[in-house]
Amino acid sequence: MTAENQLPTLCFRLNERIFGISATDAHMIVGRQDLTPLPRCPDYILGVFGYWGRAVALLDLVRFLKLKKNEIEPAEGDQISNRVVIARAAEMTIGLAVQSVLGVVKLSIPEEQSKRFSDEGRLFEFTKYEYVKEDQIISVLDMTRLLHEARI
């Protein structure tokens, strides 16, 4: 496997699942932020926070993807917990509320996606690829599609 067919992916945990976004879409990881609520926003927008002089919306992926809510503690061995991943795609910036950040891994880019494992909520429509690594499924999100659909 060559470096050309590997995708550096920032992986994070959310509700007992592992998600990923392309490392090129991940701009920074910050601690939980003080939020300013926005009236008349969808329930998946938790509010906005200041980031380098800009107002950035914080997206609740559990609500947006309509995943089952699950209040659990970060898994042992997670490197960072209760974080916000600042992501950029298609000239848009968003904060993703995540339970914990696992780090960057290199995943092989599949030539074709023949089988998807995740069918809960809206996850299927926003998953670009899925990988099985060390007996866990990693759902890599399509950030451009997600941001356009969320109307951020």
The amino acid that residue 87 corresponds to is A
Residues 121 and 67: beta-carbon distance below 8 Å: yes
| Mean pLDDT across the chain | 82
Question: What is the per-residue pLDDT for 80?
Answer: 47
Residues 16 and 24: beta-carbon distance below 8 Å: no
Enclosing domain of residue 20: 3-150
The amino acid that residue 54 corresponds to is R
**CATH code, domain with 136:** 2.40.50.180
Report the share of the chain in percent with pLDDT over 90: 38
Question: What is the per-residue pLDDT for 129?
Answer: 84
- The arithmetic mean of pLDDT across residues 7-13, rounded, is 93
pTM: 0.83
How far apart (Å, rounded) are the C-alpha atoms in residues 2 and 85? Answer: 28
What digits encode the pLDDT tens for the residues 53-99?
A: 888 999 999 889 988 775 444 455 444 447 899 998 888 899 999 98
Domains identified in the chain, total number: 1
Question: What is the per-residue pLDDT for 110?
Answer: 66
What digits encode the pLDDT tens for the residues 21-36?
A: 999 999 999 988 889 9
DSSP output for the chain: --GGGEEEEEEEEETTEEEEEETTTEEEEEE----B--TT--TTEEEEEEETTEEEEEE-HHHHTTPPP---PPPTT-SEEEEEEEEEETTEEEEEEEEEEEEEEEEEPPS--------STTHHHHEEEEEEETTEEEEEE-HHHHHHHHT-
Confidence of residue 118 (pLDDT cuts 50, 70, 90): low
